[in-house]
Amino acid sequence: MITRSANVNSVRELLQKMPKPLALVPTMGALHEGHLQLLRAARQKVGPKGTVAISIFVNPIQFDKAADLENYPQPLEKDLALCEEEGVDLAFTPTKESLYHNDHSVLIHENLLTKHLCGATRPGHFDGVLTIVLKLFNILQPDFAIFGKKDFQQLAIIDRMVRDLNLPVTIIGHSTVRDSDGLALSSRNSRLKAHERTDAPRIRRALIAARDIRKTGEQNPQVYLDAARTHLLADAPDSFSIDYLELVDAKTLQPVSKVTKPTFLATACFYGDVRLIDHIGLSD
């Protein structure tokens, strides 16, 4: 049976009685199959005698738009039922008040990997992400933390934080989970209108079309960007727009001048106010 705690002190007491190793899956709730696969990966990592923990917390300081925070789905009881079915041992479901003092003034900032992609179009977003992740690591003391690779920039900066701050946790990335039509699973998908959901696989198709150019040996980044943009915008609905479309080095996340080593073609797109992200790797 799952143990649930919303209090920092009580969850620390509970953890003293739970076996190691501990694998943590940090989430903002509205769980879908992608999250469930992360939980299964966590169980596989720690085994039947280890502890699988999930955090469910919609972190207010990582939202750059108030409307996005207000509209973010929060079906907590449904999420907990799914966790129970997956055999999760511990659910940490804190409130904002339990994690942030009214006058909190310390944030974690990364100043290289966040310069482009989501970091450029969502000011302060990754400061909020890193701050809450570090808080969760400090509170729960996991041996492993599992994150989805769909948010590859987030995964990279969390990995960098762990490296640079010498945190005693191993970060594990899990492959992007997709629907049958190719759309990356996201809690935000539920907010799409029916015709937008039908249209949304255009994002994946555009990235694949651009990636396939790599077979020709093309090294000019603009060729890939132009191809992806053309496919993204072709006969798109009125509510569709591109937030960013970039080609970056797979390790440094900096824009490339020539495609000669592993790179990521990444995009964020809007359907109205619903923002979806995806990426694809280009390699020899």
Query: What DSSP line would sit under 6-50, residue for residue?
Result: --HHHHHHHHHTSPSPEEEEEE-S---HHHHHHHHHHHHHH-TTS
For the chain, list the domains and their CATH numbers: 3-174 (3.40.50.620), 187-279 (3.30.1300.10)
C-alpha–C-alpha distance, residues 274 and 223, integer Å? 28
Q: In 117-262, which ranges are E strands?
A: 144-148, 170-174, 240-249
Q: Angle CA(121)–CA(122)–CA(125) in degrees, nearest 5?
A: 150
pLDDT digits (tens, 9 = 90+) for 73-95: 999 999 999 999 999 999 999 99
pLDDT at 241 over 80: yes
Amino acid at 217: G
pLDDT at 220 over 70: yes
Amino acid at 129: V
Strand order from edge to edge, sheet including 263-271: 240-249, 263-271, 274-282
The H-or-E segment that residue 194 falls in is helix 194-199
Q: Would you state the pLDDT for residue 115? A: 96
Q: Would you state the pLDDT for residue 156? A: 98
**Which of 244, 241, 239 lies closest to 278, judged by CA?**
244
Candidates 32, 35, 195, 231; catalytic one: 35
> In the annotation, is 125 catalytic?
no
- DSSP, collapsed to helix, strand or coil, labels residue 166 as coil
Global pTM reads 0.96
Structure tokens at 192: 């799409």
11 close to 135: Cβ distance less than 8 angstroms: no
Q: Would you state the pLDDT for residue 24? A: 98
- DSSP, collapsed to helix, strand or coil, labels residue 275 as strand
pLDDT digits (tens, 9 = 90+) for 177-204: 999 999 999 999 999 999 999 999 999 9
Q: Would you state the pLDDT for residue 284? A: 54
Mean pLDDT of the residues in the chain: 97
pLDDT at 8 over 90: yes
Determine how β-strand 22-27 pairs with β-strand 3-5. unpaired
Determine how β-strand 263-271 pairs with β-strand 274-282. antiparallel
CB neighbours (10 Å) of residue 92? 24
Q: Give the model's confidence band at 12: pLDDT under 50 very low, under 70 low, under 90 confident, else very high.
A: very high
State what percent of residues in the chain have pLDDT above 90. 98
CB neighbours (10 Å) of residue 66? 9
Q: Give the model's confidence band at 283: pLDDT under 50 very low, under 70 low, under 90 confident, else very high.
A: confident
What's the rounded mean pLDDT across residues 229-251?
Answer: 98
37, 56, 268, 154 alpha-carbon torsion, rounded to 10° = -80
Q: What secondary structure letter does DSSP report for 136?
A: H
